[in-house]
Amino acid sequence: MFHPLASSDVALILLLALHPLLTSAAQYCALKPPSGSSPSISSGIQQGTNATDPSNVVASAWYPGWLATDFPPSSIAWDKYSAMTFAFATTTPDVSTIALDDVSAQALPEFVSAAQSNGVTALLSIGGWTGSMYYSTAVATAENRSAFVNAILGLVSQYDLDGIDFDWEYPGREGLSCNIFDPDDSAHFLSFLQELRGTDTGKTLVLTAAVSLTPFVGSDGQPMADVSQFATVLDRIAIMNYDVWGSWSPTVGPNAPLDDSCAPAADQDGSAVSAVNAWTAANFPANQITLGLASYGHSFRVSSTAAIQGNSLALYPSFDTDPSAQPVGSADTPGDTSLDPCGNPNGVSGIFTFAGLISGGYLDPNGTAAPGIKYTFDSCSQTPFVYNETSQVMVSYDDAASFAAKGRFINAQGLLGFAVWDVTGDQDDILLDSLHEAMGIESVCE
């Protein structure tokens, strides 16, 4: 999955002696989940709780640390979350060194202290699309696993973290083109998690993993039939149900489909429905699964003939695949010549955040399609598409309606909650509030 990083010039800054900022005690807020089955639920989200307590709901998002200058931790609506994950620390050739770029290293202490003073679990994510290169070697041998555990415990202690999110993209699979990977990655990953969980500090840490639509692959390269052991050491997983379709796909398609079983057979490329089915069929408990939701979309250059079908927008139209035709998204820096860690140009992502669709004129300030913009809500993927006929730009994204549909799915499936990539993409909490309302989550403050 594609997590845009601002710059490939990541300074390896580790073990900076940064002191947590002092903050005064803020009002304490807890999230009250829908069922009302337990009257004790308003007692709040506790640090280090895990999924064995059904009264917990996990309302979480990732915080992109490299955007800290424009989006400081103080701008997060903390009372609407139970957990927040700082992205990313990255793996390095030295198993004992986990890297943070300098903007992130500066922002992390403020992030942790803001989270904790709001009763929100503070996690640090390791990896991401461009930061997973050395995961495989870090867990390859018993010696390396111990060193990696120690490096993580060092970060936990240095930054006073409540938990660690493992965003390894992906064990046993290539991911970014120059990643190291090995057929035994998943087995080694499990051994590593068991060792970390077995340490004194590890027992109380919240341990999470960001995962693909299908279970971790085994040594045969196929999704494992039984991943239940991962559920005994991880508190939860977040299924990254986004970037399912994008510029790499044969046609336009939904970035974050809720369902694909109702799509034409050729267009069934995975969805929240298929992913939850696959993980639970492999014995990962539903109540330890959070659904990843996208506060952004992917853009495509589509001719009017292909895009428009009667009064509506065509689903799965062809698009201009020439990289020079890729629309510049709100998340892109025009003229960006940066390289990814493999030395390839990052290029134009075409990603529009939900807020960027509003500022770019595609959506009105209330998040509905602007006058002159064509809009379709695909009833199968339950996601919207917008199209500007003049610029020939089509965007597959998520809106209040698609977030609500996903919220109802989370409840209906008995999932643990949600994880939004990322916390900065929303506008005036239009998406988040819609999700809370659909799930029946209330924020209770004392």
Ligand X SMILES: *[C@@H]1O[C@H](CO)[C@@H](O)[C@H](O)[C@H]1NC(C)=O
Q: Which residues bind ligand X (CB under 6 A)?
A: 50, 52, 93-95, 137, 140-141, 144, 361, 364, 366, 368, 370, 372-373, 388, 390-391
Evaluate whether 259 touches 18 at the Cβ level (below 8 Å). no
Indicate the residue among 31 and 140 with the shorter CB distance to ligand X: 140
Q: Using the minimum distance from each CB to ligand X, give the nearer residue, 112 or 386.
A: 386
| Least distance (Å) between residue 367 CB and ligand X | 8
What is the C-alpha separation between 84 and 118, in angstroms, rounded?
A: 11
In three-state secondary structure terms, 9 is: coil
Distance spanning both ends of the chain, measured CA to CA: 39
Question: Which one-letter amino acid corresponds to residue 156?
Answer: V
User: Which DSSP helix (H) or strand (E) runs through 433?
Assistant: helix 430-439
The distance of closest approach from Cβ of residue 135 to ligand X in the complex, given in angstroms and rounded to an integer, is: 10
**Smallest separation (angstroms) from ligand X to the CB of 8:** 21
Contact 103, 138 (CB under 8 A): no
Three-class DSSP category at 229: helix
| Complex with ligand X: residue 93 or 345, whichever CB lies closer | 93
Least Cβ distance, residue 347 to ligand X (angstroms): 21
For residue 389, the minimal CB distance to ligand X (Å) is: 7
| Pairwise CA distance, residues 361 & 391, whole Å | 12
Q: Are 415 and 63 in contact (CB under 8 A)?
A: no
Q: Which is nearer to ligand X, 6 or 180 (CB)?
A: 180
Give the shortest CB-24-to-ligand X separation in angstroms. 30
In the complex with ligand X, the residue whose CB is nearer, 235 or 422, is 235
Contact of 69 with 108, CB cutoff 8 Å: no
The helix or strand, by DSSP H or E, that contains position 204, with its residue range, turns out to be helix 200-204
Nearer Cβ to ligand X (93/264): 93
Q: Which is nearer to ligand X, 62 or 135 (CB)?
A: 135
Which of 331, 330, 326, 332 is closest to 300 using CA atoms?
Answer: 326
d(CA 25, CA 29): 12
Q: Cα(291)–Cα(242) distance, rounded to whole angstroms?
A: 10
CB of 1 to ligand X, least distance (A): 24
